[in-house]
Amino acid sequence: MKAQMIQQTTIPQNPAHPAFRRREPAPRAIRSTAFIPLRPEEEGHRQRFGEHVHLFRQGDDATRIYELIDGEVMLYKLLPDGRRQVVELIGPGDVFGISAIPIYECSAETLRAGHAVVHDRAVVERSPDLFRLLSARLQAQFCAMHEHAVLLGRKSALERVASFIMKCVPGRGGYGCPGPGGGDNTINVRLGMTRQEIADYLGLTIETVSRAFSELRRRGIVTIDRQEQVLVNNICRVCKLTGAH
């Protein structure tokens, strides 16, 4: 059983929609199943995980801080009526499980198998070195979240999808991008997320995401093989469509 089943069926995004009133409240206090006892004296405990596993859920006691080594994790929040927003995509090196309150304010679900170093929250807060190490990484994540706020608040559907594709292209589109002429202009990227997950990340519906991909295909900018596999024929053209250049 896939973990994001809650959102599997199409849920109307529009809160004025009558379907919302009929929905069950989102599961808030479900305890994570992937619980492994942590020895506080350790400088972090290694944890392996598979695909589509919850590491913790919105409402769980926020006792651990994770440092992703390998794989991919998404952090999402649910509204009581079932609307979901993926608030952060976590890649190798990123830190997650940070919370300002004693419980997690979002859920963490793995997108791809991998492993993480798990730190006891109390230990992190007592160890300046560890704290510093983890915090350094948060800075980059901070900027990524700012960028994502722009996407969610101000970009059109096509721009959002183009931005998402660019996120999958390493070293391009951001600071230090060689620009047109610099580097290869073609790449094969694996999205690693379903259309529904992408939609929940981009603040769109699954249909709109699908239409955007189709539009890019129609324009000859990308070629889509196995749904998760996108061949970008012209990186710079995608980059221009992001609205950021």
Partner DNA sequence: CGATTATTTGAAATCGCTCAAGTTGGGTGG
Partner DNA sequence: CCACCCAACTTGAGCGATTTCAAATAATCG
Which C-beta is closer to a copy of itself: that of 109 or that of 159?
A: 159
37 binding partner (options a copy of itself, DNA, none; Cβ < 5 to 8 Å by kind): none
Largest CA distance in the chain: 57
One-letter amino acid at 128 equals: P
Site for DNA in 17-46 (CB under 7 A): 17-19
Piece of 40-48, 120-128, 135-143, 224-232 that binds DNA (CB under 7 A): 224-232
3-state secondary structure 52-104: CCEEECCCCECCEEEEEEEEEEEEEEECCCCCEEEEEEECCCCEECCCCCCEC
Which C-beta is closer to a copy of itself: that of 10 or that of 223?
A: 10
210 phi, psi to nearest 5 deg: -60, -45
Give me the least distance between CB of 88 and a copy of itself, in Å please. Answer: 7
Q: Element (H or E) spanning 96, and its range?
A: strand 95-96
What tokens appear for 245 in the block?
Answer: 């250049």
Helix pair 128-154, 157-167: axis angle to 10 deg: 150
Q: Is 89 near DNA (CB under 7 A)?
A: no
The full length of the chain comes to 245
The set of residues, in sequence order, having a beta carbon less than 8 Å from that of 168 and lying 6+ positions away, is: 189, 190, 191, 192, 230
Separation in Å, CA 93 to CA 38, 42, 138: 21, 19, 10
132 binding partner (options a copy of itself, DNA, none; Cβ < 5 to 8 Å by kind): a copy of itself
Give me the least distance between CB of 69 and a copy of itself, in Å please. Answer: 20
209 binding partner (options a copy of itself, DNA, none; Cβ < 5 to 8 Å by kind): DNA
Q: Select the residue interacting with DNA from 164, 194, 239, 241 (CB under 7 A).
A: 194
Which one, of 49, 45, 48, 87, lies nearest residue 63 by Cα? 45
Give me the least distance between CB of 129 and a copy of itself, in Å please. Answer: 7
Q: How far apart are the first and last CA of the chain?
A: 42
Site for DNA in 133-172 (CB under 7 A): 156-158
Give me the least distance between CB of 190 and DNA, in Å please. Answer: 11
Separation in Å, CA 151 to CA 4, 5, 138, 161: 23, 26, 20, 10
* Binding residues vs a copy of itself (CB under 8 A): 13-16, 75, 77, 79-81, 83-85, 87-88, 98-101, 103, 105-106, 128-129, 131-132, 135, 138-143, 145-150, 152-156, 159, 175-176, 200, 202-203, 243-245
133 binding partner (options DNA, a copy of itself, none; Cβ < 5 to 8 Å by kind): none
What tokens appear for 199 in the block?
Answer: 């939609």
Q: Is 12 near DNA (CB under 7 A)?
A: yes
Q: Which residues bind DNA (CB under 7 A)?
A: 2, 8, 10, 12-14, 16-19, 156-158, 194-196, 203-211, 213-214, 224, 226-228
